[in-house]
């Protein structure tokens, strides 16, 4: 998997050895075989969601061993009284979104925040990544990445930066909160466009592509039985499915309902994401999306637009002081019949 340039940039996880990957597939296949024989119905296949934050090493294998499903709870039990009810409104809106097309296109703004070497102000490093995944399992995945460079994170940080002489580069002798060490600069990058046979974006078991959406459960009970116990791993997996996977609208709605029912997910009220968009948020303790070298505990915030049913942003913050460490803001995600990146390459 290290050969996949895009995935090396996208996931906060170390590369998997062939032995670990094979063991995970064998566990998953055994779990699905048991589930199929027990329930006598079509089972969902899941082994990897290769999406996440930029700047890490390689794909992470999410092994979701199917567990015996819990007894079906009355639908009313999913209604939350603690402020998470907006997730149910988002589920209703998401279920109505169109999900037909030959390509899943997503544009994400990803970034990291960290203090300057003197600790006087906070810097933000960001990039835009556009990804187009084909519904055809034999098709290639297309990318366009644009580095936006480094700049002060907020107006207050900009004032402190100007007071420090408006430097355009910084040297870190120790690693920053985002894991940087060495020389950094404000220089932006030119857009890069490429394609790859990138199976890390797919469900791999039995060769099923992620775009075989009818193979993924579309009820919260089905997703919960597939993912496993109620813990941060379950929440992280549901978040990845909700934010990054080109699944059906019904499955995305089920992920919202699952999040609404999980312990450990706490309402954070109305917030504004890094792109300035208003939404409702939930938070939970997790290190899944944190920088690899960050030493402290972190909390993950999911920002949702309940009116449109669209996920807005995943933010990871320091549990100690609330500092925003990493984020992925979903600028756009949709099914369509055309791929503008592929067409642009043909024209050039």
Q: What would the DSSP string read from start to end of 64-133?
A: ----PPPPPPPGGGG--SSSTTHHHHHHHHHHTS---SSEEEEEEEEEEEEE-TTSSSEEEEEEEEEEEE
Q: Which residues contact 231 (CB under 8 A, 6 or more apart)?
A: 264
- pLDDT at 276 > cutoff 60: yes
> How many whole angstroms separate alpha carbon 239 and alpha carbon 273?
16
> How many whole angstroms separate alpha carbon 216 and alpha carbon 237?
13
Considering only residues 59 and 130, tell me which one the structure prediction assigns the higher pLDDT: 130
Q: What percent of the chain has pLDDT over 70?
A: 69
**In a 10 Å sphere around its CB, with 0-12 CB exposed, 13-18 middle and 19+ buried, how is residue 339 labelled?**
buried
Average pLDDT (301-322) is 94
Q: What percent of the chain has pLDDT over 90?
A: 42
pLDDT tens track for 91-105: 999 999 988 888 889
- At 344 the pLDDT is 67
- pLDDT at 118 > cutoff 80: yes
- At 322 the pLDDT is 86
Write out the H or E segment, with its range, that includes residue 272.
Answer: strand 266-272
Whether the CB-CB separation of 115 and 125 falls below 8 Å is answered with no
Write out the H or E segment, with its range, that includes residue 325.
Answer: strand 324-336
What the block records as the tokens of 75 is 């639908």
- At 112 the pLDDT is 92
Q: Quick one: pLDDT band at residue 153, thresholds 50, 70, 90?
A: very high
> How many whole angstroms separate alpha carbon 211 and alpha carbon 247?
7
- At 286 the pLDDT is 85
> How many whole angstroms separate alpha carbon 115 and alpha carbon 288?
21
What the block records as the tokens of 113 is 């925040």
Whether the CB-CB separation of 200 and 245 falls below 8 Å is answered with no
pLDDT tens track for 230-272: 667 788 888 988 898 888 899 999 999 999 999 899 999 999 9
Considering only residues 139 and 337, tell me which one the structure prediction assigns the higher pLDDT: 337
Q: Smallest Cα–Cα separation from 341: which of 141, 142, 190, 137?
A: 142
**In a 10 Å sphere around its CB, with 0-12 CB exposed, 13-18 middle and 19+ buried, how is residue 92 labelled?**
middle
- At 279 the pLDDT is 96
Average pLDDT (266-293) is 90
The DSSP 8-state label assigned to residue 319 in this structure reads T
pLDDT tens track for 43-71: 232 333 333 323 322 222 232 323 333 33
Concatenated DSSP letters of 210-221? TT-GGGS--SHH
Average pLDDT (313-321) is 93
Average pLDDT (16-45) is 39
> How many whole angstroms separate alpha carbon 182 and alpha carbon 209?
40
State whether the Cα torsion 254-260-265-268 is positive or negative.
positive
Q: Quick one: pLDDT band at residue 7, thresholds 50, 70, 90?
A: very low
Considering only residues 226 and 214, tell me which one the structure prediction assigns the higher pLDDT: 226
> How many whole angstroms separate alpha carbon 53 and alpha carbon 69?
31
Backbone angles phi, psi at 57, to 5 degrees: -90, -50
- At 61 the pLDDT is 26
- At 283 the pLDDT is 95
> How many whole angstroms separate alpha carbon 324 and alpha carbon 299?
10
Average pLDDT (93-120) is 92
- pLDDT at 217 > cutoff 50: yes
- pLDDT at 78 > cutoff 70: no
Instruction: Output the average pLDDT for the chain.
Output: 75
- pLDDT at 27 > cutoff 60: no
Whether the CB-CB separation of 265 and 259 falls below 8 Å is answered with yes
Concatenated DSSP letters of 289-310? TS-TT--S-EEEEEEEETTTTE
- pLDDT at 155 > cutoff 80: yes
């Amino acid at each position: 998997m290290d050969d996949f340039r895009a995935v090396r940039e996208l996931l906060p996880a170390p590369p998997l050895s062939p032995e670990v990957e094979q063991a995970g597939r064998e566990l998953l296949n055994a779990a699905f075989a048991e589930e199929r024989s027990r329930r006598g119905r079509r089972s969902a296949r899941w082994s990897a969601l290769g999406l996440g934050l930029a700047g890490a090493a390689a794909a992470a294998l999410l092994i979701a061993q199917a567990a015996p499903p819990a007894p079906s709870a009355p639908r009313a039990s999913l209604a939350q009284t603690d402020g998470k009810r907006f997730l149910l409104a988002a589920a209703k809106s998401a279920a109505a979104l169109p999900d037909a097309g030959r390509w899943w296109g997503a544009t994400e703004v990803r970034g990291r925040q960290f203090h300057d070497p003197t600790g006087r102000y906070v810097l933000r490093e960001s990039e835009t990544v556009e990804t187009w995944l084909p519904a055809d399992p034999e098709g290639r995945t297309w990318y366009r990445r644009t580095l936006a460079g480094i700049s002060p994170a907020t107006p207050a940080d900009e004032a402190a930066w100007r007071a420090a002489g408006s430097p355009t580069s910084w040297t870190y002798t120790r690693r920053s909160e985002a894991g940087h060490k060495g020389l950094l600069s404000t220089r932006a990058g030119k857009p890069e466009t490429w394609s790859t046979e990138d199976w890390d974006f797919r469900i791999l078991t039995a060769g099923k592509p992620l775009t075989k959406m009818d193979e993924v459960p579309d009820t919260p009970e089905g997703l919960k039985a597939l993912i496993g116990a109620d813990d941060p791993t379950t929440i992280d997996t549901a978040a990845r499915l909700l934010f990054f996977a080109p699944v059906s609208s019904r499955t995305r709605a089920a992920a919202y309902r699952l999040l609404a029912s999980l312990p450990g997910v706490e309402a954070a009220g109305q917030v504004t994401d890094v792109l300035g968009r208003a939404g409702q948020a939930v938070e939970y303790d997790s290190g899944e999306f944190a920088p690899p070298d960050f030493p402290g505990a972190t909390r993950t915030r999911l920002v949702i637009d309940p009116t449109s049913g669209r996920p807005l942003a995943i933010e990871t913050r320091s549990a100690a002081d609330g500092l925003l460490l990493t984020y992925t803001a979903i600028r756009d995600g949709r099914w369509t019949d055309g791929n503008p990146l592929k067409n642009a390459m043909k024209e050039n």
